[in-house]
């Protein structure tokens, strides 16, 4: 039972991440490989605040989101002037730089040693220390993320994002300052990813840089694409599929060393197959990138 | 010390350059980021390892087998994945994601098949390096530098003076127009993938002879190659050479003055700086945002 709850909690955390990326990739047509970097920023910010200053969970989440948004401007203002695959490469570079910081800035992040002993969240005196309680909280955050993405994308703001995705020059010709819209979408996406990071840090109570590698970014991209980019439930479906499928492998009885590789083989292969057979994703309606 | 740092920079630069010209050749014709280029780089030394240590083929033959495998692998990716995708009208982003998927699958296949530990293609007896202007280099490192200069020169001359080179440049410029005047852009792309992949395989083999191989070596090599291509300017071999030198020098001076763990972060800072201030790189053409 605990194990099942654990999986559902993981699904919720990844659902927040995939929703955050979908706002960019699915709705605005901006593929970012830096989602794990913002996820890590959130996790490290709230973990460090909690461990070193005893800050509460709520403060940690908000601080993580604030840090992530500020950093997102440093990345997005210059790189969103670039187009398509150049933007992908710029976010890739940023992801590598942040990973390097997580991994090498020993004084702050303790590098590969990681940060142990992150306290479990306490919200208004409610100590979240069982799986069930944490699940309730994670589900609340996930619903918040989906509601935020839904409200944003069905508003006039979202319609401009869709216009940018379809034809940016056309949106500009209608007098839209597309850079401003893209920068805002990037900031919201970074904030949501950071929120997922804080949740993760306070759930596992230990973080190290290996959770925030470029492979993690690609996993989130796979979730969005396999589920269906640009649709409301697509990212959730993707998160469910890509979290539970590898867990199912545990019961096949493979040695754990091979299981990790097999997990990546599965999502890599799914990525290729989806691109070739069903670029809309399982439940999506928007033909991704064409 | 200074000459040694410069020598190390040259060695690193020649590796980046070899990956970059192969990647750049593919990118400038096919117009998408072929991430799976990284696994082509990794596959060559592993196949050579298989045929040399496990099958007992002579070293030279294994080396050739490695390059041929790389060539075939790149060609197969184009035939089995990219070409069908392109005929469905897939965008550059879709191709990029598919190639990312291929990379992940194959890298993990290599991990499962050979393990994650560092392997050596051939244990060379340790000898004192040759002294060049007060720096110590091994024979292999000199060969690597020579090979990369040679490959760059041959590719440059081929592209600029031969008919094949002209056709490749035509397809790179405008595939539809090239087809209209009788070029077979599908075949040209296939050859481009094969040639670019052969260069990646060569680069992978040379690097693995120097420092050994592990399954993730291709990712770093690819990223350095991509940065080299962008900083140098798409489609410019001269630019790639300059960029490789810039990156090699920056990294090695970083190791000298700061510390080795930040050398990759610095490269990506250079990349971001170029993307912001000079997205066309040293010698590239302006990036077009829209065309009519």
Q: How confident is the model at residue B270, as a pLDDT?
A: 87
Residue B285 has pLDDT above 80, yes or no: no
**pLDDT, tens digit, 9 for 90 and up, residues A6-52:** 889 999 999 999 999 999 988 888 888 899 999 999 999 999 999 88
Question: Other CB atoms closer than 10 Å to residue A156's CB: what's the count?
Answer: 7
Residue A68 has pLDDT above 90, yes or no: yes
CB of A101 closer than 8 Å to CB of A80: no
Percent of residues, chain A, with pLDDT higher than 70: 97
Interface A:B, Cβ pairs < 8 A: 138
Residue B287 has pLDDT above 70, yes or no: no
> What's the mean pLDDT when you consider all of chain B?
86
Residue B125 has pLDDT above 60, yes or no: no
Q: In a mutagenesis test of the B interface, which of A218, A268, A277, A279 is the best target, namely the one with the most B β-carbons within 10 Å?
A: A268
- Judge whether B109 is closer than 8 Å to chain A, CB to CB: yes
Q: In a mutagenesis test of the A interface, which of B273, B275, B276 is the best target, namely the one with the most A β-carbons within 10 Å?
A: B275
Cα separation, A146 vs A277, in Å, equals 27
Cα separation, B270 vs B237, in Å, equals 19
Query: CA distances (Å), A16 to each of A95, A128, A140, B40, B224, in order?
Result: 19, 19, 10, 34, 32
**pLDDT, tens digit, 9 for 90 and up, residues B254-282:** 888 887 778 888 888 888 888 878 877 77
CB of B7 closer than 8 Å to CB of B214: no
What pTM, to 2 d.p., does this model score? 0.88
DSSP for B210-275, please give it: HH-B-TTHHHHHHHHHHHHHHHH-TT-HHHHHHHHHHHHHHHHHHHHHT-GGGHHHHHHHHHHHHH
Residue A276: which of B84, B287, B290 has the nearest Cβ?
A: B84
CB of A251 closer than 8 Å to CB of B97: no
Classify residue A83 by burial, with Cβ atoms within 10 Å: 0-12, 13-18, 19+: middle
Percent of residues, chain B, with pLDDT higher than 70: 93
CB of B215 closer than 8 Å to CB of B13: no
Domains of chain B in sequence order: 2-277 (1.10.3470)
Buried b (16+ CB within 10 A) or exposed e, A127-150: ebeebebbbebbeebbeebbebbe
Average pLDDT over residues B183-189: 87
CB of B256 closer than 8 Å to CB of A50: no
**pLDDT, tens digit, 9 for 90 and up, residues A207-252:** 999 889 888 998 999 898 888 888 888 889 989 988 888 777 777 7
Radius of gyration (Cα) for chain A, nearest Å?
18
Average pLDDT over residues A141-162: 91
Q: How confident is the model at residue A79, as a pLDDT?
A: 74
Cα dihedral sign, B28-B30-B31-B32: negative
Which residues in A lie closer than 8 A to residue B94 (C-beta atoms)? 275, 279, 288-290
Closest to A134 (Cα-Cα) out of A203, A47, A48, A215:
A203
Confidence of residue B200 (pLDDT cuts 50, 70, 90): very high
């Amino acid at each position: 039972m605990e194990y099942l709850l654990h999986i559902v909690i993981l699904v919720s955390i990844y659902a927040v991440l995939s929703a955050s990326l979908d706002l960019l990739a699915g709705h605005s047509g901006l593929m970012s490989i830096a989602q794990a970097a913002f996820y890590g920023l959130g996790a490290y910010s709230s973990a460090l605040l909690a461990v070193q200053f005893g800050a509460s969970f709520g403060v940690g989440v908000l601080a993580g989101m604030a840090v992530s948004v500020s950093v997102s401007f440093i990345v997005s203002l210059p790189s969103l002037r670039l187009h398509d695959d150049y933007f992908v490469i710029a976010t890739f570079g940023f992801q590598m730089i942040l990973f390097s910081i997580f991994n090498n800035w020993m004084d702050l992040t303790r590098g590969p040693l990681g940060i142990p002993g992150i306290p479990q969240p306490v919200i208004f005196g409610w100590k979240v220390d069982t799986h069930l309680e944490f699940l309730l909280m994670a589900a609340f955050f996930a619903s918040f993320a989906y509601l935020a993405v839904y409200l944003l994308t069905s508003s006039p703001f979202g319609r401009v994002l869709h216009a940018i995705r379809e034809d940016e020059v056309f949106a500009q010709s209608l007098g839209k300052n597309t850079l401003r819209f893209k920068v805002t979408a990037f900031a919201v996406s970074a904030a949501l990813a950071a929120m997922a990071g804080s949740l993760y840090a306070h759930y596992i109570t230990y973080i190290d840089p290996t959770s925030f590698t470029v492979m993690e970014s690609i996993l989130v991209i796979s979730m969005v694409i396999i589920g269906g980019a640009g649709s409301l439930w697509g990212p959730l479906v993707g998160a469910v599929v890509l979290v539970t499928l590898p867990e199912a492998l545990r019961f096949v009885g493979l040695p754990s060393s091979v299981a990790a590789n097999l997990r990546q083989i599965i999502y890599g292969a799914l990525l290729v197959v989806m691109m070739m057979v069903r670029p809309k994703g399982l439940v999506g309606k928007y033909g991704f990138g064409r | 010390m200074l000459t040694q740092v410069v020598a190390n920079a040259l060695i690193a630069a020649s590796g980046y350059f070899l990956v970059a010209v192969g990647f750049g050749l593919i990118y400038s014709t096919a117009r998408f980021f072929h991430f799976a280029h990284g696994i082509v780089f990794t596959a060559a030394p592993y196949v050579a390892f298989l045929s040399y240590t496990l099958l007992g083929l002579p070293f030279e033959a294994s080396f050739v087998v490695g390059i041929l495998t790389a060539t075939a692998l790149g060609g197969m990716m184009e035939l089995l994945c990219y070409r069908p995708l392109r005929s469905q009208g897939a965008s550059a982003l879709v191709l990029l994601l598919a190639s990312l998927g291929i990379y992940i699958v194959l890298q993990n296949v290599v991990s499962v098949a050979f393990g994650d530990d560092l392997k050596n293609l051939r244990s060379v007896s340790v000898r004192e390096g040759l002294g060049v202007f007060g720096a110590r280099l091994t024979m292999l490192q000199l060969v690597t530098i020579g090979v990369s200069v040679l490959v760059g020169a041959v590719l440059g001359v081929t592209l600029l003076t031969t008919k094949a080179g002209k056709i490749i440049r035509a397809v790179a410029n405008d595939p539809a127009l090239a087809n209209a005047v009788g070029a077979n852009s599908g075949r040209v792309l296939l050859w481009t993938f094969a040639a670019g992949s052969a260069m990646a395989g060569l680069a992978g083999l040379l690097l693995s002879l120097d420092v050994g191989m592990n399954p993730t070596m291709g990712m770093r090599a690819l990223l350095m190659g991509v940065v080299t291509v962008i900083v140098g300017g798409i489609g410019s071999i001269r630019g790639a050479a300059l960029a490789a030198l810039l990156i090699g020098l920056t990294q090695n001076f970083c190791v000298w003055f700061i510390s080795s763990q930040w050398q990759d972060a610095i490269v990506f800072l250079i990349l971001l700086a170029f993307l912001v201030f000079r997205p066309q790189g040293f010698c590239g053409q302006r990036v077009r945002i829209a065309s009519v």
